[in-house]
Amino acid sequence: MNPTGTTQPQPSPVVVDEAWPSVTVVVPVHGDRGELRLTTAALAAQDYPGSVQVVVVDNGDNRDLDSSLSTLPGADVVREQTPGSYAARNAALATARGEVLAFTDGDCLPDPGWLRAGVSALRAHEGPCFVGGAVELFARDQTRPSLAEMWDSLNFLRQEAYVREQGWAATANMMTLRSTFDVVGSFDARLRSGGDREWGERAVRTGVAAVYCPEAVVRHPARAQMSELHRKARRVSRGDVESRRRQGAPMFDPGVIAASVNPSPRSTVRRSAALAHPTPANRGRYVAVALWMRYYTFGSKLAHVLRTSRAGRQK
């Protein structure tokens, strides 16, 4: 009863449909400054009919994690001291109870129907598969995006292309059956970047299908500062070099070298039309930052190749 004497409506009990497989959502977290609170609130709002377990992996440098988890008090917390999101995701597996493993990140916002749509795609496919759902990037202020946000929103986490053209899915939004994951094996914890691509390519080689599901949506904030883009470029470059060395592949594809030495701005100009607000000023700013990031990424990778090759010769 409330102070007026009227009866307060009681929340409806959660009814779990056992016909739907149980799900464990794995969320690695490093350097959280409050974004995780929004992620856990989005996970608490899922309309999934089956049982859901959330495992948050504390990978260090997080502030007041208990407060961020208050929106999802039933979450399990695992702590992993080995740095890297792939080591953190692997650490969650000992605690995971779900028949389905769903992966997202600690700054992502899954739509309420995320799990239902992704698991439906898993169930609809005949044979082993993994599902990559849509990843939609957004600027803090959609009407006044920063230079970094404009570039990031069109070039980062292009999930449909990853899944349909390259056969892997970014772990910001990826699901598979636990039984499939166990056959393929865990993520390569040695990689600080590109571990999701390495896992997906390994899965496809074993006969696992890559399935894109546009209805399983996760929203991701675009990087707002150029310094964030630079850190991302350096991290991805290191991961690419490490992965290529393990595979015995060339460090650079000929097309990448040609595009970096003699870039064609025409395609970049066309791509700028896809901006949320493609004003002439915004399109011009986008082209400038896109050309800069092309050179910066190439230079970062070249520097890492030379540095690590020299270090290897000195051993």
Q: What pLDDT score was predicted for residue 3? A: 36
Q: What pLDDT score was predicted for residue 292? A: 87
Q: What pLDDT score was predicted for residue 298? A: 86
CATH 3.90.550.10: does it fit domain 23-131+157-214?
A: yes
Q: Which residues does 299 contact at the CB level (< 8 Å), separation at least 6?
A: none
Low-confidence stretches of the chain (pLDDT beneath 70):
1-16, 254-264, 310-315
Burial class of residue 101 in the structure, from the number of CB atoms within 10 Å of its CB (0-12 exposed, 13-18 middle, 19+ buried):
buried
Rg of the chain (C-alpha set)? 21
Q: What pLDDT score was predicted for residue 155? A: 77
Burial class of residue 279 in the structure, from the number of CB atoms within 10 Å of its CB (0-12 exposed, 13-18 middle, 19+ buried):
exposed
Structure tokens of 259? 């595009």
Q: Is the dihedral of CA 185, 187, 189, 190 positive or negative?
A: positive
Distance CA 39, CA 49 (A): 19
Q: What pLDDT score was predicted for residue 189? A: 93
Structural contact between residues 69 and 39, judged by C-beta atoms closer than 8 angstroms: no
Q: What pLDDT score was predicted for residue 147? A: 84
Q: How many residues does the structure list for the chain?
A: 315
Query: pLDDT digit string (tens) for 131-180?
Result: 999 999 888 877 788 888 888 878 777 899 999 999 999 999 999 999 99
Structure tokens of 154? 């069109």
Torsion of CA 142, 147, 152, 155, to 10 degrees: 110
Domain ranges of the chain: 23-131+157-214, 227-306
Hunting for tokens 């690419």 — which residue is that? 240
Query: For 34, what's the count of Cα atoms within 13 Å in the CB-facing half-sphere?
Result: 0
Find the angle CA(190)-CA(53)-CA(69) to the nearest 5 degrees. Answer: 80
Whole-angstrom CA distances from 232 to 15, 106, 132, 226, 297 are 42, 16, 21, 10, 9
Query: pLDDT digit string (tens) for 64-82?
Result: 888 889 889 899 999 999 9
